[in-house]
Structure 1
Amino acid sequence: MSHAVARLRAARLARSEKPFIARGSRAVRCQACRLALSHCLCAWRPRVPAQSAMCLLMHDVEALKPSNTGWLIADVVADTSAFGWSRTAVEAELPALLSDPQWQPFLVFPGEYAAPERVVDAVRVTDGKRPLFVLLDATWTEARKMFRKSPYLDSLPVLGLQPEQLSRYRLRRSTRDDHLCTAEVAALCLELAGDQRAADALNAYLDVFSQHYLAAKAPRAVDLNDELHQHLQAFL
């Protein structure tokens, strides 16, 4: 199993003492895309190259949630790693990844929460390195806690994004429209790094994923020839 979030999900399920029951758990889901089989998304997974890499640091049950968009990032960006977050323990592979000389890691988080000298507003790499974006995949409250209580991230430059658009994510409630979901943040990072085609593919994939997810809940059929699917078709 090569999918980073799928591996993390399997490991999290293996150590669970009781089953995780997601909303809509009565639906028979595709194990590859997590959507109801009637609305499977597997045939619409984009195939695009990217110079950038992603590192998802995921709060406890995020990998188990069918609505999690970190899964979409791992679908689109080949070099995606995923780690479970714990306040008291760190997987050995995570510090090794962050110190690997082929990468220039950036911790993606609002700049006002970091010391000014750590904050950068552009993706600049040197010595032939490739950008590695570290994303805290959690609710906003959880992400702030992760930011404060992860000392192994304290040496990383903080990329403070300034999104111009409101979030399009409709699968979970948020008190603020300017809080982007993880896939939207990743797409902005790809764009800043010059991976425009991968950014466009991820945004198109998120739109179709959201459409399928909500249609499966209704339930209602999806028009596979509509504008969203036609847009995504260009990246298959």
Structure 2
Amino acid sequence: MKIFLLTHERELRRATNTGCLAIENANNLVERILWERIKPNKDLIRLIENNEAALLYSKTDPLPESALTMSSEVTSAIPALTPLTIEEYENIIIIDATWQEAKKIFNQSPYLRSAPHFTLKTESSSLYKLRANQPTGGLCTIECIIEVLKLKGQNKKAAELVIKFDQFNG
């Protein structure tokens, strides 16, 4: 299993980036790919074209159909996409950015819009408190990774990341 963080360049400079925490503590399960609008990552495109990777997404607010937010709520605002289960894919793509930047990345990346999509269904709200403007029901990057690991049966690694996240989130 591999989780790819498609990361906006500004996230690399943010002390509040939880993607870094996952990369440092997930034993090569998580890999960062820097998002470039003009020059998208060829390996990621190949995985999507070969139906070997799925994009974690959800849509909770009344934005245009092409907008993206990563949250725990599910809506049917994008009827062309068939809901998937995570068990179907060994490669998972998560956009690692602020909510506004994630929408921009999704909207400006046609290959992501064509990727198979799946949504997390969680019982809890985000515990992340280091950034403002968190949408209701939204999860930060490491919380998404933790949920993916749990769904994939990697409970020990998920528990380790929960401890690191709690320390980071202070």
Q: For this structure pair, what is the TM-score category when the shorter chain's length is used for normalisation?
A: 0.7 to 0.9
Residue of structure 2 in register with 1:106 after alignment: 54
The answer (yes or no) to whether the contact 2:47–2:53 under 8 Å persists in 1 is no
Q: Any gaps of 5 or more consecutive residues in structure 2? A: 60-74
Instruction: Give the TM-score normalised by structure 2.
Output: 0.78
Aligned mates of 2:149, 2:81 — CA distance in 1: 20
- For 1:1-236, list aligned pairs within 5 A: 52-77=1-26, 78-98=28-48, 104-110=52-58, 112=75, 115-125=78-88, 131-211=90-170
Q: Do the aligned residues in 2 keep the contact of 1:114 with 1:158 (CA within 8 Å)?
A: no
Could you tell me which residue of structure 1 aligns to residue 65 of structure 2? none
Q: What letter corresponds to residue 56 of structure 1 in structure 2?
A: L
Distance 2:33 2:140 in 1: 18
Q: Give the secondary-structure state (helix, strand or coil) at the position aligned to 1:124.
A: helix
**Superposition deviation, residue 177 in structure 1:** 3.9
Is residue 53–residue 132 contact of structure 1 (8 Å, CA) maintained in 2?
Answer: yes
Question: Which protein has greater RCO, CA pairs closer than 8 Å, 6+ apart?
Answer: 2
Distance 1:175 1:70, change over 3 A: closer
RMSD, matched Cα: 2.3
Q: Is the 8 A contact 2:48 2:111 kept in 1?
A: no
Aligned length: 154
Question: Any idea what the Cα deviations from partners look like across 1:177-212, whole Å, max 9, x if unmatched?
Answer: 42111000111111112222222221121001222x
State the 1:97 CA deviation.
Answer: 5.0
Greater Rg by CA: 1
- Percent of pairs with identical residues: 30
Taking structure 1 as the reference length, what is the TM-score of the superposition?
0.58
